[in-house]
Structure 1
Amino acid sequence: MTPTPVPDQDTAVQAELSYLAEGSTVLRRFTAPGHSINTGRYETHVVPIRNGRPVQDQFTVETNGFRIVRHESAVRDFTDKAEVDAVYVPEVLDFVEQQLGADRVVSRGWVLRRSAAPGENASQPQAGLVHIDYAPEGAEEMAAAVYAEHCPDGPGFTRAVATSTWRVFSPPPQDWPLALCDFRSVAPEDGLPNTLYFVDRVPDDPLGPVDGMRRITSGSEFHHDPDHRWWYFPDMTRDEVLFFVFHDSDHSRAWRVPHSAFLDPTAQATVPRHSIEFRTFAFFE
């Protein structure tokens, strides 16, 4: 087993992360045409986020839940949707299959994020809350649904892994890099489900009954824990990616990684961070 890299406070930045506030427990996100609301309450905590560059070769997906990988893409313009669909989608599916040794990999879509004026670039803002895209129960339900849809004649799966492949295509340094929490510092009981509902209109009482509403899936959000060990990789280029786990049905491995964008107070960035994240489910049959 690869040892966890030794934390080095000398290579850490002190930065703010937005955690779920204590006492905030009923978590729902309602998305309606032109409007969205989240019932969670959040608070910022200043935490050390360690520079993983000096020990970047020591991280593994199996132990830490993430790694940084050199991966060149033939995509010329990541803001060109047609080119991304035609070129990047098969690239990433092949990449994930090779990284995990899975039998099948299915796309769950991609999204661009930009730290300034995202709407001008068909992008979303940076994701600045400590979260995981799938809660355990949401991941299990989604894995079964995705497999049934895309592999109707398959023999079934013994293991499913939801992952993200995250790439920056704006030049370094990044004003809002991505922080990743070492799986080994996350307690088994950490995390609360935040359930996503698609609705015609946001309910008058978001904390009231939800009977009959269309539940899509649930992610995880986290209260602050001083034991959380955070890492980032400054000055990323478009020829490398962060590959990390949302959920692995095999809990004998690193099976989830909380993460969040954060404002790096030390970065002398000249352009907003622009990135593409690609979600997949990998299946072992």
Structure 2
Amino acid sequence: MSCSDRWLALSIGNSRLHWAAFSGNDLQQTWDTPHLSAADVQQLIATQFTKSAFHPSLHDNADGAHMPLWIASVVSQQSLLWQKYDAATFITLEQVPLAGLYPTLGIDRAIAALGAIAIVGRPVLVIDAGTALTFTGVDGARLIGGAILPGLGLQFQTLQQATAALPNALPAALPASEERVAPQLLPPRWALNTTDAIASGIIYTLVAGLQAFVNDWWQQFPASPVLLTGGDRDRLYAYLTATMPAMASKLTVEPQLIFWGMRSVRGESLKAES
């Protein structure tokens, strides 16, 4: 692929920025960064993303052409920083070809559902384990609906911040090679210390809620795939595998749903322009 085929996808989440470099329809690399300052964004635009500290895969983008940047954002303050970049395209709900999308639906949920449709078809249920834990169900070309609750990390942080003496008891993550299959991630259900008691209350309640939503979805759509994505996807998959392995074995962990959805939106936009 030539440099002219290259483009970037940026998903602006509540906690981090999620980046992907594409060559045409081929996903080359993904990486995450913290939210950027205005000065950081200005420097990236001025250097055409070749700033050495940004990402090595983009160092050869020095031909003077503006790198196309497709953005899906749930954080308006971060979006505003890119408004003056003339090669930026901001994806909106109007560009997502699904019926039943309501005005306050998060663009990340809509695009992740579109990405799930692109790789497994429909109906499909997407569970996004990010700062918020969301359920988004799609059948045919229509949104069925969903739910939102605080994500795993946020539940631990909130309990710590809202109480005088409770610690942040989120269990330490294991290496990625071990995370999905490690039952030792689970705390004792009937705990004998405060840290384990917090972990038990949050984790086992969350797992039970996941089971309830997934089983209800399967009652309506028995053959439907269920995809798990988001930053805590592997940790939640490990909890589900340890507590209800039969159900977990039917789930698919797919970290790049948002980028598959952004690729679909871009493809439809390019078709419309040609």
Q: TM-score, normalised by structure 1?
A: 0.21
The structure that is strand-richer by fraction is: 1
Q: Which has the larger radius of gyration?
A: 2
Q: TM-score, normalised by structure 2?
A: 0.21
